[in-house]
Amino acid sequence: ASSRLQHEYVPSAHLSAPCTCLAWAPPGGRPPPSKDGPQRKKRKSEVAEVNTQLDILAIGTAVGSILLYSTVKGELQSKLDGGHDSRVNCVRWHQDNCCLYSCSEDKHIVEWNTQTCKVKCKWKGDNSSVTSLCISPDGKMLLSAGRTIKLWDLETKEVYRHFTGHATSVSSLMFTTVKPMNENNPSDGITGLYFLSGAIHDRLLSVWYIRSDGKEKNAVMAFSVTDEPTFVDLTISEVKEEPVKLAVVCRDGQVHLFEHILNGYCKKPLTSNCTIQIATPGNDEDSTPKPVPILAAAFCTDKQSLLLVYGNTLQPIIEKVSLNTTESHVCLIRDIQKVLSLKTDVAVTKVKTPVVNSDSKVLVPGVPGHSATVKTPSSGKEKKKTKRKPGETEESIEERLGALDIDVTKVKTPGGLPQTDSFAVLLVQGLESNDAEILNRVLNTKKESVIKNTVARMPIHAVIPLLHELTKRLQGNPYSASLMVRWLKSVFSLHASYLSTLPDLIPQLGMLYQLMESRVKTLQKLSRLHGRLFILASQVAASEAGQDVTEVNQTAKLVYEDESSEEEGSDDEMIADKESEENWDEDEEKEEQSDEQEMAMEKEINGDSDLEPENESEEE
């Protein structure tokens, strides 16, 4: 009623498992009077409306566990584990017993027993993730939706009806009627009921009718809104003539109100009877009124007035608005700044600020006996020197220390170059801020000693980021690789003991290892190629050098010819040649004859002469 925060629960591991969905347990095992209790979700107004106090809140998390939190005791009652291994999309309480139903990204629906905190039943709900659930008014059926909508029989866990559903995943499901409009078949609790569904990125809310024959799979009517519906509330139609009232909050911060008697098929999408917006008055410094987003809306028990939740999600304002649906568009003017500032003053601040005389001296924490005046000159200088060079930082610190009367040995670096300790600081800063300029400046150092000292002085936590940065640079320009290898060498030699303690070292350095392997593999081929090219280049160079030398003239300066002697000499040579050739032939013949004689002699000695004449001729 006062739109003040009543209770806050921060889970201990709230970072590892954010809350994804909420549902209030029905008080005392009975549904709240005249409300669709289990379908209600994330509504602060509910606490005020329900006579019996709501206590247990089921919280679905992103890691698949469900927490049961008692708001009365202000503590976690129990944790439901082992049902889902992925994000829980929706939780719904059964009206009568202590059962809880949940659906998840892992495509399954789980039925929990909340007394024992155990899984009662688990079955596959869809081929893709199941995003929304809704329990039928009689508690015997369950609607589930991913993109298609299925109606399950809770006893047998079998699909009773199929509906086409939406193109995107369904975000809201709720029944719009409690009992069938036609009283022909009173025994069945589900046939003849209407239910509503909305999906993400879909500007149409569809209404479906459950028929006895199950032939009708498409929506019987649709409500069109201006943007994706984020929050839906409705009044349930008890009697046939009573219209269903529907309040739809859209992503654009408007509320659309519909009023329609559900009486079968309707071809065209129905537009809203009334649209509500909230805006700032715009009469102060800002002359233009600004829209204030509406976060949620819910009908009060009288079904005439509406509770609107608007403003900031951290501190929303809840207001009861009586409806006049004759106007098609209502814009409420609310000065949200004034309301918020008043509320915060009342609610939060109990600290009194003392009235202080302007001349009085205020002691601040720090060096005893110093007032706040010490800080002023340095802060002024800092404002002036916004664009300071990294080398100049020491100077301002000296001045500050000088103001505190502490002796400082003046550090002057030769040539204005930063020392290795400032290199280490720069390197860590560069790695944390991912500043390419700083990293280039540090990593392009060629001095081995500077590299070694920098790596030695850098903190342990920066080793792995440095290795990742070096790996990234090794993949780039081949020239940079020669510089990076020096850094790698220092890192591995100085921080080997730390690296060997890391459990996930192999995946961390896997890429670097593969990179080195691939580089080393080509080394042999490259060195061979280098050798060949070297020989080739040296030969080319030699031939070019040879061409440059001035050619020596090879022709004789003087030639003396004696005719007679030349002719005689040539005749003599000819005769000599002929004789030698004849002698050669004679020699050969003589050798052949002597060979034959020798063979005949051998045959006679061996007794081979009495061979047949044919054989002799063959041998000859």
The mean per-residue pLDDT over the stretch 65-81 comes to: 88
Q: Is the pLDDT of residue 493 over 60?
A: yes
Structural contact between residues 104 and 129, judged by C-beta atoms closer than 8 angstroms = yes
Model pLDDT, residue 284: 65
Q: Is the dihedral of CA 39, 43, 47, 48 positive or negative?
A: negative
The secondary structure of 254-305, three-state, reads: CEEEEEECCCCCCCCCECCCEEEEEECCCCCCCCCCCEECEEEEEECCCCCE
Residue 256 has pLDDT above 50, yes or no: yes
Domain range summary for the chain, segments of one domain joined by +? 427-521
For the segment 538-565, the average pLDDT, to the nearest whole number, is 79
Judge whether 233 and 220 are in contact, CB under 8 Å.
Answer: no
Average pLDDT rounded to a whole number, residues 544-558: 77
Displacement of CA 60 from its chain's centroid (Å): 22
Give the count of alpha carbons within 13 A of 281, CB side only.
9
Q: What is the pLDDT of residue 50?
A: 42
pTM of the model: 0.53
Residue 589 reports pLDDT greater than 50:
yes
Per-residue model confidence (pLDDT) at position 40 = 42
Q: Which pLDDT band, with edges at 50, 70 and 90, does 551 fall under?
A: low
In terms of Cα–Cα distance, which of 94, 60, 58 is closest to 77? 58
Q: How far apart are CA 221 and CA 269, in angstroms?
A: 6
Q: Is the pLDDT of residue 352 over 60?
A: yes
Can you tell me which residue has the tokens 């392009």?
444
pLDDT exceeds 60 at position 408:
no
Q: pLDDT grade, residue 290 (50/70/90)?
A: confident
Least confident interval from 346-360, 476-490, 603-617: 603-617
CB 154 within 8 A of CB 178: no
188-217 pLDDT per residue, tens: 677 888 899 999 989 999 999 888 777 778
pLDDT band at 441 (very low <50, low <70, confident <90, very high): confident
Q: Distance between CA atoms of 411 and 162, rounded to whole angstroms?
A: 80
pLDDT of residue 122: 93
Chain-centroid distance of CA 50 in Å reads 42
Query: What is the distance, to the nearest Å, from the Cα of residue 573 to the centroid of all Cα atoms in its chain?
Result: 101
Average pLDDT, the chain: 77
Q: Which residue has the higher pLDDT, 183 or 2?
A: 2
pLDDT band at 393 (very low <50, low <70, confident <90, very high): very low
pLDDT digits 0-9 by tens, 229-239: 999 998 887 77
pLDDT at 424 over 80: yes
Give the pLDDT of residue 193: 86
Asked if 107 and 125 touch (Cβ cutoff 8 Å), the reply is yes
Angle in degrees, CA 368, 369, 374, rounded to 5: 100
DSSP state of 250: E
β partners of residue 224: 204
Average the pLDDT over each of 23-27, 98-102, 125-129, 614-618 and give the range with the smallest value: 614-618
Is 409 within 8 Å of 397 (Cβ atoms)? no
CA distance 398 to 382: 13
Could you tell me what percent of the chain has a pLDDT over 70?
Answer: 71
pLDDT over threshold 70, residue 576: no
The most confident of the ranges 33-37, 296-300, 362-366 is 296-300
Comparing 195 with 32, the larger pLDDT belongs to: 195
* Residue 558 pLDDT: 86
Report the amino acid identity of residue 482.
S
Dihedral sign from CA coordinates of 183, 184, 185, 187: positive
CB 205 within 8 A of CB 229: yes
**Window from 364-378, 471-485, 551-565 with minimum mean pLDDT:** 364-378
Amino acid at 65: S
In this structure, the strands spanning 99-104 and 132-135 are unpaired
Write the DSSP string, 379-397: HHHHHH-SS--GGGHHHHH
For residue 384, the model assigns a pLDDT of 41
Give the integer Cα–Cα distance in Å for 262 and 243. Answer: 7
Helices and strands (DSSP H and E) totals, the chain: 13, 25
